[in-house]
Amino acid sequence: MVFASCAHQMRTGLGTCHAMASNLAQALDCRNKRELRARLDELQSRLNELDSLLHATMDMFRHSTDDVELVSGNEEAAGVAALWRSVGRATRCALNLRAEAVRDSLAVRRTALREMLSILLQNACEADARSVVVTTDNSQHHALGTAFCVRVEDDGLGVDPMLEDKLFEPSCTTKAGKLGLGLYVASCLARESGGELSYDGAAEGGGAVFALTLPLRGDE
């Protein structure tokens, strides 16, 4: 079901690119260099988005449950945060990791965990956040009991109340040129890992808070 939806979104995106290519031909005819450059930039942005989506989709379905391994949730969060600090500097977004000394032994696919965290951080950067706080702790979940939780809180533009119920559906986006699949893919990976990705509402002073909750290893 996930693959079919992603494939549909890629097909739709490719159709858009074909339409853009047709517009470029018209722009060439009128020899308007400024209009041509704008359309070229738009086309390149769309192709980059499709390329990223293709890689993420291939990675999701390349792995199986045999790839599950025991990992430290805190160590993985620290590793992803370290990689994203360079991105944050480029976008003037400060990233602060607050990893609590909690039970964090997880049986998950390492690549899936990293992808989920990366998607949440990328969303914060794209929402014009200047500060992102990533906190890890143990929380009580209605279905999982005591679980490992990663909260990502930013001071960006926040979430449109009209979209709150659709955040984890494909094509939900307010960003021009984006396909709106990031949170959808992340939520699918969370469910595949036995956990849950949720929107916890607006952050204090604006922005958004997302929580990734994962089950602890069975003997924890």
Range of the domain at 188: 65-215
pLDDT score, position 1:
45
Does one domain contain both 99 and 30?
no
User: Which residues, including other chains, have CB under 8 Å from residue 187's CB and lie 6 or more apart?
Assistant: 168, 196, 197
Lookup: tokens for 61: 């379905």
Burial class (CB in 10 A: 0-12, 13-18, 19+), 41: exposed
Last residue of a domain, one of 34, 62, 90: 62
pLDDT one-digit tens code per residue, 91-143 = 678 889 998 888 889 988 888 898 899 889 988 888 888 889 999 999 888 77
Q: Which pLDDT belongs to residue 78?
A: 92
Question: Are residues 92 and 41 located together in one domain of the fold?
Answer: no
| CA distances (Å), origin 218, targets 61, 65, 134, 140 | 25, 16, 25, 15
- Per-residue model confidence (pLDDT) at position 98: 92
In terms of domains, do 32 and 77 share one? no
Low pLDDT (below 50) residues in the chain: 1-4, 8
Model pTM?
0.71
* In a domain? residue 220: no
| Same domain as 106, residue 73 | yes
| Domain shared by 72 and 155, yes or no | yes
Q: Report the DSSP pairing between strands 208-215 and 196-199.
A: antiparallel
Pair (142, 200) in one structural domain: yes
Is there a single domain that holds both residue 54 and residue 73? Answer: no
Does residue 45 sit in the same domain as residue 71? no
